[in-house]
Chain A
């Protein structure tokens, strides 16, 4: 089954404790992206990657890092989480090409930073 898998689905942690949210896709997609969803703000892009070893900042990259060492994986790293990073996070992937290729989304990771 084609899917984007995020782990963990839920995490409560404390300020300053490094954490990683993993994202894996089994569709051989080149393009992957991380979003955060906040009430009244919709989805905002954090980072994206157009292919292995190619990453770039989205609209709200501060406080986050990513890596793309393999095509299928695109982890999101919070080196020193802060309460303003409490949010619902989504990973998405899509093949390259025209816009009629939809993004496939994971089920989300809800992070609470105390």
Chain B
């Protein structure tokens, strides 16, 4: 089945850039997503990228997709303490229904 892998933990200093990486195995992925989970809350969609795109920028967020290597990254510029959360990479395959496979989540700790 599909597999989505992330490193479990990342620590950065406030004001630095954060880069969270993700690899996936499904070559038929159509959409790839980044979700953010704050403590005690559900997941919220941060951004997504369609599989025929290489890059998407949205304010402080930059998503890079290397489809050949099946590698997705999320860069957060000028990281703030409010960015501390768990970030999930996810992919949707091209199957008959909207199956979304989530990664293991990366816990981002921002040090003041």
Seen from chain A, the residues whose Cβ lies within 8 Å of a Cβ on chain B are: 4, 31, 35, 40-45, 48, 50, 59, 90, 92, 94, 96, 98-100, 102-103, 105-108
Contact = CB atoms under 8 A, between A and B. Distances in A.
A96 B98 contact: yes
B102 A43 contact: yes
Interface residues of B, number: 26
Interface string B10-47: 00000000000000000000110100000011111100
Contact of B43 (A48, A98, A100, A105): A105
B31 A42 contact: no
B89 to A, nearest CB: 9
A99 B53 CA distance: 14
Contact of B48 (A45, A99, A108): A99
A94 B98 contact: yes
A96 B30 CA distance: 15
Interface of B: 1, 4, 6, 8, 30-31, 33, 40-45, 48, 50, 88, 92, 97-105
A102 B42 contact: no
A42 B92 contact: no
Given A99-B48, A99-B92, A108-B42, A42 B98 contact: no
Given A40-B8, A42-B88, A105 B44 contact: yes
Contacts of A48: 97, 99
B45 to A, nearest CB: 4
B40 A107 contact: yes
Nearest to A54: B97
